Amino acid sequence: MDVAEIEASYAYCERVTRRRAGNFHYGIRLLHRPRRMALCAVYAYAREIDDLADGDLAAEVKRRELARMRSQLKDLRAHRDPVCAALADAASRYPIPLEALGELIDGAEMDVSGARFTTFDQLHLYCDRVAGSIGRLCLGVFPPSGCPQAQHLVSSLWIGMQLTNILRDITEDAEMGRVYLPGEDLRRFLPDATDDADAPGRWRPGPAFDALVRFEARRAFGLYAEGLSLLPFLCHRSAACLGTMAGIYLRLLVRIADEPGRLLEGRVSLPAWEKHEIAARAMAGLLVGHRAPLWGPRTAARRGPRLKENGHAG
């Protein structure tokens, strides 16, 4: 492809990212253009994998298409699709570990198969495939300096974000017949459920549901605390990018842990002004994920001590 075609391919990926990335775009846009375009190419390919796994095609068709996308990764330049073209160019400029997209496909195949998780270790593996893989791809675009544990730390950070997603989407997933929380935890906190698939029928406001959500939130808080220690090893804009993405999800988790019952009332989200505020904090090198100064001071005061007991000072 000539330069004009490559630029058009990057522009397409940027449009996809701006339209579909939601929370992540607040961080991606903080990068200088070359790295921003590379990360948009990564996101666009990952988005196609996710859309395929979550779409309405028959399971066998999904598996066949995922296998096709896995095969594409062996020689992206052989395909004139704009996402393949942009990703191939990005991978020629940065040490992007394309095998991590293969791991993402592994996770997508687990979704297609309707995987259920008996233990947290099994859920952790799934989260590492569908989210930790994205973190490892990010490190290819903005590699750290002097951090031997970078791969582990970035994986932990993205697994924390995925756990936040699982909690945020708990009712939406249940409507699609998906239960991601470990069966051992469901049986511990919802002992009246006859089996793991029956657990969503027991998701009602009250102490049992709150305890389940806060138990999972504590795990995620620990992963954020571990993963955010990577930021000092990144250049300023790369740290701001990753800090913004993680900060938005961390603040969502704080909101969820403060009031778990809100998950049963509708999708918990942050307003745009709050996401901009998190991005500004990240660019200034400040801690990310703390409560917004203007958000629910009475609720924060009431819930704060409980969060501190759970290992997160908010």
The segments of the chain whose pLDDT lies below 50 read 295-314
CA distances to 35, 214, 294, 300 from 303, in Å: 40, 12, 15, 5
pTM above 0.85, yes or no: yes
Cβ contacts of residue 239 below 8 Å, gap of 6+? 231, 232, 282, 285
Within a domain: 55: yes
Of the residues 72, 99, 126, the one at which a domain ends: 99
Looking at the structure of the chain, the number of domains it has is 2
Of the residues 33, 65, 99, the one at which a domain ends: 99
What ranges in the chain are assigned the alpha helix state H?
3-20, 23-28, 33-54, 59-72, 82-93, 99-112, 120-127, 133-141, 150-168, 170-175, 183-189, 207-227, 236-258, 272-283, 297-309
Tell me, yes or no, whether 121 and 91 share the same domain.
no
Q: Three-state DSSP class for 202?
A: helix
Of the residues 99, 125, 142, the one at which a domain ends: 99
Give the chain's radius of gyration (CA, Å): 20
Q: How far apart are CA 215 and CA 213, in angstroms?
A: 5
pLDDT (0 to 100) of residue 299? 42
Q: How many residues does the chain have?
A: 314
Determine the structural domain holding residue 147 and report its residue range.
Answer: 116-314
Within a domain: 81: yes
pLDDT (0 to 100) of residue 287? 83
Tell me, yes or no, whether 76 and 152 share the same domain.
no
pLDDT (0 to 100) of residue 306? 37
Tell me, yes or no, whether 92 and 148 share the same domain.
no
pLDDT (0 to 100) of residue 292? 60
Please name the amino acid found at residue 118: T
Tell me, yes or no, whether 304 and 262 share the same domain.
yes
CATH number at residue 3: 1.10.600.10
Cβ contacts of residue 178 below 8 Å, gap of 6+? 111, 114
Within a domain: 277: yes
Q: What pLDDT, in 10s, does the model give residues 90-139?
A: 999 999 999 999 999 999 999 999 888 999 999 999 999 999 999 999 99
Tell me, yes or no, whether 7 and 135 share the same domain.
no
